[in-house]
Amino acid sequence: MAAGLILTLTGCSDDSAAPTSTTSTARALDLVAFRANAPGESDHCAVAYDIGAAARAAHLTGVAAAAGPTTATGDQATAPDDKASAALADPAHSTLSPLEMSDGVYADCSYRVGQTTVVVRTYAVRRGSAINLAAPQIQREDEMTVTALSRYLERVGKSSLGTALVAVEHVAAARVPVRPEGNGAITVTASGAPVTAEQLTRLTESLAAQVS
């Protein structure tokens, strides 16, 4: 991940736009289990998404009944609270990575839905805002300017849980609940066969609703 981009653009020290969950939620990403399952490469996604159900909800064509990830990777990192707090207060001069700063975890899972490639990235953090970790990927895949990216991340950070927002064309993001504490986000990227903004929104919101 490009630490400089995240630190410069998204204000990792400002988590006011990302309310954290400190109570048990019926449908919430288990941070402990996610941290244990995400690192490394696997043929199983660390989050058990039903891509077939989500694709049907989005009215995508060519859906396999039991589609699975073609690739799944992830990572996690943490740092002592005092070092992380100092880094968040002055990220430009920190040697910690964004994952370490946020006590974060991410998983990257790729699926095929007909002629469309769908990449679902799941982020969870104990500190800061989970959507900030996705900044370089969102900017790269939807070719956003610095200003546009900053505004988009702010909108996502203030959005309701499970509400998807399309960046420009290929990427949508939604916040998801995390237990026992922290906050999470998913991004969904669609490429290959054309996918409308409405379809991408429905796909992302369906996947966000599955997080547990």
Category of 6 on φ-ψ map: left (φ > 0), alpha (ψ -120 to 50) or beta: alpha
- Tens digits of per-residue pLDDT, 89-134? 777 777 778 888 888 899 999 988 888 889 999 999 998 899 999 9
CA angle at residue 73 from 131 to 67, to 5 degrees? Answer: 95
Category of 122 on φ-ψ map: left (φ > 0), alpha (ψ -120 to 50) or beta: beta
d(CA 204, CA 183): 17
Token match 């288990």: residue? 30
* Count of Cβ atoms closer than 10 Å to residue 188 Cβ: 28
Category of 28 on φ-ψ map: left (φ > 0), alpha (ψ -120 to 50) or beta: beta
* Short-list 179, 196, 199, CA closest to 24: 179
3-state secondary structure the chain: CCHHHHHHHHCCCCCCCCCCCCCCCCCCEEHHHHHHHCCEEECCCCCCCCHHHHHHHCCCCCCCCCCCCCEEEEEECCCCHHHHHHHHHCHHHCCCCHHHHHCEEEEEEEEEECCEEEEEEEEEECCCCHHHHHHHHHHHHHCCCHHHHHHHHHHHHHCCCCCCEECCCCEEEEEECEECCCEEEEEEEEEECCCCHHHHHHHHHHHHHHCC
Do the strands 29-30 and 116-125 form a parallel or antiparallel pair, or are they unpaired? unpaired
Indicate the pLDDT class of residue 193, thresholds 50, 70 and 90: confident
Q: Output the pLDDT for position 8.
A: 36
pLDDT: is 96 or 187 the higher one? Answer: 187
Indicate the pLDDT class of residue 58, thresholds 50, 70 and 90: very high
Name, in order, each residue with C-beta under 8 angstroms of 36's C-beta and a sequence gap of 6 or more: none
Q: Output the pLDDT for position 64.
A: 52
Of 13-22, 42-51, 76-85, minimum mean pLDDT range: 13-22
